[in-house]
Amino acid sequence: MSLHLTRLPSLATAILAVVVLILLLLPGCSMGPPTAEGVQLVLNPEVLEPTTTFELRFERAVVAAEQVGHPAEPSPLVITPALRGRFVWLSERSGVFTPTAPLALDTAYRFRLRHGLTEADGRRSAARLDRVLRTPSLLVVDHPMREQAGTNQSATPWIRLDFNAGVKATGAGRWMAFRSRDAGIVPARVAQASRFAWEAEALWWPPPAPAWSEAFPTAGQHVSVRAERPLPRGPGVNPEILNALLITAARPLPAGHGWELVVARGLPSTERGVRLAGEFRLPLGDVQPFAVAAVEAQNTRSIGRWLAITFTKPLAPEWNPTNLADWIAVSPAPTNLTFVPNGNRLIASGDFALATNYTVTMRRGLTAREPFTLAADHTAVVRFAPMPPRLYFPEFSTEQLAGGRREFPLAFMNTGTVKVRAKAFDRHTLVHALRGYRSYYRSWEERDDPDEAYQEIAFNLVPGRTIFEADYPLTNAVDEGGEITLGWDEILGAGGHGAVFLEATTTWNAAGLSKRTGTEALVQVTDLGLVWKQAPGAVLVEVFSYASGQPLPGVTVRLLTRENEMVAEAVTDAAGLARLHPTGEEAFVMAEPPTTCAPPPSTKGASRATASVFPWRGNAIPTRSRCCCSATGRFTGVAKRRTSRRSPASGATASSRCRAERR
């Protein structure tokens, strides 16, 4: 099939030729180059639209001051063909013509000054203006598609073309076709877009644009030609969108390269004489045959060993775990083999073994959701590899009771020797450490690997003092996880408190390259519990001991900014209460007991820095868990914030029931 759609009917061609000849012979219709002397014609907006206004700016005063703000009768601006509207003087030297009807499409408008125009002093104006502007012809203003153009386009594309004028679906198909560089031409099937059709595709399609004439304001308010338009609603109401067409292929596109939708020059609109001035092409991309793209052996901690069979197209909906077993074979066959289709991917799970070659065969005739079948048998040989070494702490950022089990677990898999290091913070470094630790989590835009959301915080760049370093030789069966317990008495000293940055790392080889895997956590080991009540201009903080449940006097409470600058400071009284006055810049609450409350020194060099800091509003850093360990628990209620419209009365107490799971 060849596209001969650019040819107009012979009668229309003859009529057009006659009209052009008459126009050429008409006297006085010749239009020279644009002329503007002593005056400027300014368009707003600069691009010609249905709502464009036309402002004249003269070099000399044209009207008296008392005429400013009033309409000009007759208008100093002459527009041919005539355009309804009115001209209003903005100043003695400028005025604007505002149309009261939309400009016609595919029309050349000539702008000149009125013959005999005079200046404010009565002398004839020497200004000259002669300019021609043409409105656009029929245009495609938007073309949303269900599938984006690419190297694996659907064989059944669904496209909506939005025009700047009405176009009837009836007969439009003869002006459109799908064309490929190497797979021929497929006719297009065209339907009028409607509200129901748009809402069915609303998840990925924008609302249709209004037509050129529909964009004209009805109440003096400017409306862009790209503005959304309200559509009628109600039972049984399915209004047609007259300037939008839905285009599909009359038959599935065969496999081929460089498919595009072609709309031929001359497509008529519902407005008289307005047609598509040039050929419109919408690239779609390549249509691939149905084939196996990849067969991969996956080994993950959460699922285990499984095969990922990826096809170039989604499988047909009739495939299920039962009938797929007749079309796909795995040899040697593992026990508990099952197949689960998922779009263009097939998941095969079972009791796969390491160090075994598995031959996977897909039989020809396997069908896709599109009208394609697997043309030939496909065989692939895969082999499962052990999982890469993994290390997990149960939390990224957390707090633990100093009087609890005083343990912090480390989960591991396929590791050799693991190095564990710890740094302790004091009140001068803790806030900076909390802020810097935020960069442990990476956004989608920052990730090198989309499946890895976390990055190492260099241990040597973390502020603080190294207090612990030890190597743990770990041996477990391949792909079997294990767990060791780190003791706070060993890290902080017997009964020691403090804020600690933990790092666990292991080094391993992959394809001759040395790689490093690790995990990090920031933990506050503390006995201090805080509850605060906020009112305008004042904050009442209660500090208590988790071990005894009693209030703690003599504890210094500070409000700190993100730069660790102190906003307010107070010492708790006998009831464990401290009153502070915030400024709005505070980001953290820090509580530091007197030195007499610190644990005794030990041979492990336990730090006396027992300050605890909590975010003023919300979490300081994410507490997403990479591993759930039933042997440990998270305690809640370390810090609660209360708000009240009333200022805390002098001597009042703020209490809260806090439940904690001891470690």
Do 150 and 282 lie in one domain? The reply is: yes
Instruction: Give the range among 193-197, 241-245, 398-402 with minimum mean pLDDT.
Output: 193-197
DSSP string of 433-463, one letter each residue: HHHHGGGGB--GGG-SSTT--B----GGGS-
Per-residue confidence (pLDDT) for residue 614, from 0 to 100: 58
Does residue 231 register a pLDDT over 80?
A: no
Is residue 412 assigned to a domain? yes
Per-residue confidence (pLDDT) for residue 226, from 0 to 100: 41
**Distance between CA 136 and CA 143 in Å, rounded?**
18
Q: Which residues pair with 71 in a beta bridge?
A: 88
- Give the count of beta carbons closer than 10 Å to the beta carbon of residue 442: 14
Q: Which of 111, 134, 157 is the last residue of a domain?
A: 134
Q: Report how far Cα 386 is from the mean position of its chain's Cα atoms.
A: 35
Does residue 497 register a pLDDT over 50?
A: yes
Do 416 and 500 lie in one domain? The reply is: yes
Does residue 601 register a pLDDT over 60?
A: no
What percentage of residues in the chain have a pLDDT greater than 90? 54
Does residue 367 register a pLDDT over 60?
A: yes
pTM, 2 dp = 0.64
Band the pLDDT of 195: cuts 50, 70, 90: confident
Nearest to 410 by CA among 627, 585, 172, 250: 627
Specify the DSSP element, H or E, that contains 12.
helix 10-25
CB 205 within 8 A of CB 198: yes
Q: What is the average pLDDT across 596-607?
A: 36
Q: Which of 383, 416, 445 is the last residue of a domain?
A: 383
Instruction: Give the range among 77-86, 96-105, 116-125, 600-609 with minimum mean pLDDT.
Output: 600-609
Per-residue confidence (pLDDT) for residue 364, from 0 to 100: 95
Q: CATH number of the domain that 300 lies in?
A: 2.60.40
Do 563 and 531 lie in one domain? The reply is: yes
**Distance between CA 554 and CA 593 in Å, rounded?**
7
Is residue 435 assigned to a domain? yes
For the ranges 373-377, 510-514, 535-539, 583-587, the maximum mean pLDDT occurs at: 373-377
Q: What is the average pLDDT across 530-534?
A: 87
Do 254 and 149 lie in one domain? The reply is: yes
Band the pLDDT of 145: cuts 50, 70, 90: confident
Q: Which CA distances in Å does 407 have to 209, 345, 394, 485, 495?
A: 63, 43, 11, 6, 12
Does residue 474 register a pLDDT over 90?
A: no
Arithmetic mean of pLDDT over the chain? 81
Do 75 and 89 lie in one domain? The reply is: yes
**Ordered strands of the 94-99 beta sheet:** 39-44, 53-58, 94-99, 85-91
- Residue scoring higher pLDDT (358 or 214): 358
Q: Which of 233, 258, 287 is the last residue of a domain?
A: 287
Per-residue confidence (pLDDT) for residue 587, from 0 to 100: 84
Q: What is the average pLDDT across 211-232?
A: 56
- Residue scoring higher pLDDT (425 or 265): 265
Is residue 576 assigned to a domain? yes
Per-residue confidence (pLDDT) for residue 641, from 0 to 100: 35
Do 328 and 261 lie in one domain? The reply is: no
Is residue 25 assigned to a domain? no
Per-residue confidence (pLDDT) for residue 650, from 0 to 100: 31
Band the pLDDT of 465: cuts 50, 70, 90: very high
**Distance between CA 660 and CA 525 in Å, rounded?**
13
- CB under 8 Å to 58, separation ≥6 — which residues? 38, 39, 93, 94, 125, 127
CB 35 within 8 A of CB 131: yes
Do 153 and 266 lie in one domain? The reply is: yes
Is residue 27 assigned to a domain? no
Per-residue confidence (pLDDT) for residue 434, from 0 to 100: 80
Structure tokens at 155: 């064989």
Do 201 and 262 lie in one domain? The reply is: yes
Per-residue confidence (pLDDT) for residue 639, from 0 to 100: 38
Q: What is the average pLDDT across 560-574?
A: 91
Does residue 572 register a pLDDT over 90?
A: yes
Instruction: Give the range among 69-78, 302-311, 417-426, 451-460 with minimum mean pLDDT.
Output: 451-460
In angstroms and rounded to an integer, the radius of gyration of the C-alpha atoms of the chain is: 38
Does residue 238 register a pLDDT over 90?
A: no
Is residue 648 assigned to a domain? no
Do 296 and 411 lie in one domain? The reply is: no
Specify the DSSP element, H or E, that contains 198.
helix 195-200
* pLDDT tens-digit map of 203-216: 456 777 788 888 77
Do 534 and 585 lie in one domain? The reply is: yes
Is residue 415 assigned to a domain? yes
Do 128 and 166 lie in one domain? The reply is: no
Specify the DSSP element, H or E, that contains 590.
strand 588-592
Per-residue confidence (pLDDT) for residue 442, from 0 to 100: 65
Range of the domain at 603: 526-643
Does residue 613 register a pLDDT over 70?
A: no
Is residue 11 assigned to a domain? no
Phi-psi map region of 610: left, alpha, beta (phi>0 left; psi -120 to 50 alpha): alpha
Does residue 354 register a pLDDT over 70?
A: yes
**Total of domains in the chain:** 5
Does residue 246 register a pLDDT over 50?
A: yes
Do 171 and 260 lie in one domain? The reply is: yes
**Distance between CA 496 and CA 601 in Å, rounded?**
9
Per-residue confidence (pLDDT) for residue 616, from 0 to 100: 53
Specify the DSSP element, H or E, that contains 16.
helix 10-25
